[in-house]
Structure 1
Amino acid sequence: MAYGSDEQGATLIVVLLFLVLIMLAGAIAVRQSTTDLKVATSDQINTVLLQSADSANQKLETMVNGSPASEGYKDVTSATGALGHFILFEENKVNEFVYCFNPRTQRYLTNSATVSVPAGGYVDGINNGICDYTEADDYTSERQAVMTQMSIALTPPSANADPFEHVVIGKEIENRTSKKYQFDIRATSSLPAYSEPVDSEGSCFAKTSISNNAVLRSDESLSDCLLAASTPSKMLYEQADIENLSSSTKCYPFGKGTLDPLCVLSTATP
């Protein structure tokens, strides 16, 4: 009987050990599942932010590369447009043009933007381009999840630039249309619903998108502020070259080759 009693005690210990092992395996599985969920959620957030920022860049590219007769092209290249502001006025070359991206509109003009100047303040005192995370219309969709703010500025001159690198080939150097411009375009997307994008000075979106911006004298950028506020965000940086392109038609003399009407002299009398 003593032998049987010892055997029953050993069985109890073995069962308890198995229960402990099962509990440990379950805890590890739950922890692993939680980690996998966080990774999947982080990947989804990263994808959403990337798509939103890329969409803002593509919208601007489509407008610039579109037909000169289109409203979008006229908007961005006009004197009050996002690019024309820099191209048509030499004194604006150190400004920063900011607007809140909204795919439901194509009006990217000064009166709906914020153009910061080095001396402080804004062009014409207009400050309508800063994204407001409390306004539903400033989000990229009616779900009010993602908010994207665009920043456009001329690329600072480089000491290593080649001579006449800024001149369009085949153009007179004195002609205004002979210059080509390089822009720094920054699209910053964020998810304000995860964490309020503010610091002690107010909304992060009111800050410049250019890190260490000596021109605008800002110590903290938009990305720095969003990071400190724990607001999920992503910035896409793109450099774009803008220049006037001239088209030409090659004509062959002595009546040979092309019959393009541009190569035939008009015989109409004035």
Structure 2
Amino acid sequence: MVHQRYLSTQAKKNVSINQTYGSTEQGATLIVVLLFLVLIMLAGVIAVRQSNTDLKIATSDQINTVLLQSADSANQKLEMMINGNPTSPEYKDATSASGVFGHFLLDEKHATNEFIYCFNPRTQTYVKANATIKDVSGGYIESLNNGICDYTNANDYTSARQTVMTQMSVTTTPPEPNAERFGHMVIGKEIEDRTSKKYKFDVRATSVLPAYSEPKVGSTKCLDQTSIKSNVTTGNKSLSDCLLEASTPSKMLYEQAEVENVSSSTICIPFGRGALSSQCLLLAANP
């Protein structure tokens, strides 16, 4: 004989409720696990983005340092030439009629020109033969256009690694309307004497990294542009603006240099104390 057991209505309700509670607990556990997974993924994404940001900052700092050092090196080279021994070949070249300073010192008609050359410490680039000379309208003086840096030419980079190139721009400083009277004269010199004048120069050293982005906007080569914004002609850009639009890493250092004739006197009267200086012997030759 088969005995069948029938559950009461209350028992059936208890079983149904217990089953419902078990299903709800399993669903809540799944949702919690998914939330943890999402949080872990977000933490990973944030960590990766932070790492990329740190890397970009470090790279930007390295690029800025390299560009700054290159531009500063070009300025120091120019300072060493003009402050060096007057008998040195570099000094003579720089102050000669074909040199970067002599071009302005020896001919006042060149006062508004821009003397441009591509800095290369391994070669002599600061003379007219290797320079580009522009007038205020952007034209070339005496057809001289050999000083623009060419990023496709290995010889125009500052080192054999072909990483950075530096283009130099030298101009005379425009006169200031409120400048001190006779402030451009050297004390103790005759006004008519050409060497008695003090000259101020604006020196702009622009370093670029062509490997990161070509210094070019369309068909316009940025390094062909003037670095003096007041000389930019209609439809063109300045050197710095063009490099910015081309997204080429660059750094421009600007400094003012004063060049003047410095003379020194020799005391020729010993007043009975010691011998005369060798530079004064001619004065004592006829007692």
Matches within 5 A, 1:218-233: 219-233=236-250
Matches of residues 101-112 of structure 1 in structure 2 within 5 Å? 101-112=119-130
* 1:234 and 2:251 correspond: yes
**1:85-234 aligned within 5 A:** 85-118=103-136, 121-213=139-231, 219-234=236-251
Deviation at 1:28, TM superposition (A): 0.6
Matches within 5 A, 1:19-98: 19-98=37-116
- Name the stretch that deviates more: 132-141 or 217-226: 217-226
- Return the offset for 1:204: 1.0
Number of residue pairs matched? 268
Q: Is the 8 A contact 2:118 2:125 kept in 1?
A: no
Instruction: After TM superposition, give the deviation of residue 194 of structure 1 in Å.
Output: 1.3
CA–CA distance in structure 2, aligned partners of residues 46 and 165 of structure 1? 37
In the TM superposition, what whole-angstrom CA distance separates every residue of 1:192-214 from its partner, at most 9, and x where no partner exists?
Answer: 11111122453111111111227
Deviates more, 1:239-248 or 1:121-130: 121-130
Contact 1:64–1:76 (CA under 8 A) maintained in structure 2? yes
The letter for the 1-side match of 2:256 is Q
- Aligned partners of 2:166, 2:235: CA distance in 1, in Å? 21
Distance 1:43-1:238 versus aligned 2 partners, 3 A rule? same
Equivalent position amino acid for 1:17 in 2 = L
The 10-residue stretch of structure 1 (182-191 or 203-212) with the greater mean CA deviation from structure 2: 203-212
Per the TM alignment, residue 4 of structure 1 is displaced from its structure 2 partner at its CA by 4.8
**Alpha-carbon contact 1:212-1:219 (below 8 Å) kept:** no
What displacement does 1:119 show?
5.6
Q: Which has the larger displacement, 130-139 or 99-108?
A: 99-108
Distance in 1 (CA, whole Å) between partners of 2:140 and 2:38 is: 67
Q: TM-score normalized by structure 2?
A: 0.86
Deviation at 1:12, TM superposition (A): 2.6
Letter in 2 for 1:49: L
Q: When the two structures are superposed, what TM-score results if normalisation uses the length of structure 1?
A: 0.91
Contact 1:208-1:218 within 8 A present in 2 as well: no
- Partner SS, residue 236 of structure 1: strand
**Deviation string for 1:29-54 (max 9, x for gaps)?**
11111111111111111111111111
Is there any run of 5+ residues in structure 2 with no aligned partner, and where? 1-17
Q: Is the partner of 1:133 in helix, strand or coil?
A: coil
Structure 1: any 5+ residue segments left out of the alignment? none
Q: Quick check: 191-200 or 2-11, which moved more?
A: 2-11
Cα distance, 1:63 vs. partner?
Answer: 0.8
**Against the structure 1 CA distance between its residues 191 and 119, is the aligned structure 2 distance closer, same or farther, given a 3 Å change threshold?**
closer
What is the Cα deviation at residue 263 of structure 1?
5.4
Deviation of residue 254 (structure 1)? 2.7
Indicate the SS of the match to 2:170.
strand
Alpha-carbon distance, 1:181 to partner: 0.2
Runs of 4+ in 1 over 6 A off after TM superposition: none
Per-residue deviation, 1:245: 0.3
Q: Quick one: distance in 2 between partners of 1:107 and 1:193? A: 23
Distance 2:190 2:203 in 1: 28
1:255 matches 2:272: yes
Between the aligned partners of 1:217 and 1:94, the Cα distance in structure 2 is: 19
Is the CA contact 1:251–1:257 (under 8 Å) kept in the aligned structure 2? no
Q: CA deviation at 1:6?
A: 4.1
Map of 2:3 onto structure 1: none
The CA RMSD over aligned residues, in Å, is 2.2
How far did residue 247 of structure 1 move?
A: 1.2
What displacement does 1:268 show? 4.5
Is the contact between residue 118 and residue 217 of structure 1 (CA under 8 Å) also seen in structure 2? no
Cα distance between partner residues in 1 of 2:93 and 2:212: 34
